[in-house]
Amino acid sequence: MEPYADINGDSGIAEFKAGDNFIRVKFKDGGVYLYTYSRPGRDHVERMKSLAAAGHGLNSYINRYVRKSYEAREV
């Protein structure tokens, strides 16, 4: 996992790991969620990977578009 830049300093996201067909997101509350091409889908995952790399907008995107549409919640 790599730290999420959080350019504005107001995100609930702490870290992320992007792979070919997934993104794993760790929130500051400790929750880790896996988003894949299967769920919520390729377009969402690719957008999330782009936002994660930019360090801005990922938390808002998740809340607005994918919410609970994750492949798995990990511990």
Question: pLDDT digits over 26-60, tens only?
Answer: 999 999 999 999 999 999 999 999 999 999 999 99
Mean pLDDT of the chain: 96
Mean pLDDT of 57-67: 97
Q: What is the widest separation between alpha-carbon atoms in the chain? A: 31
pLDDT at 75: 76
In this prediction the pTM is 0.94
Question: Is residue 48 packed enough to be buried (19+ CB in 10 Å), middle (13-18) or exposed (0-12)?
Answer: buried
Cβ-in-10-Å burial (0-12, 13-18, 19+) of 51 comes to buried
As a whole number, mean pLDDT of residues 2-15 equals: 95
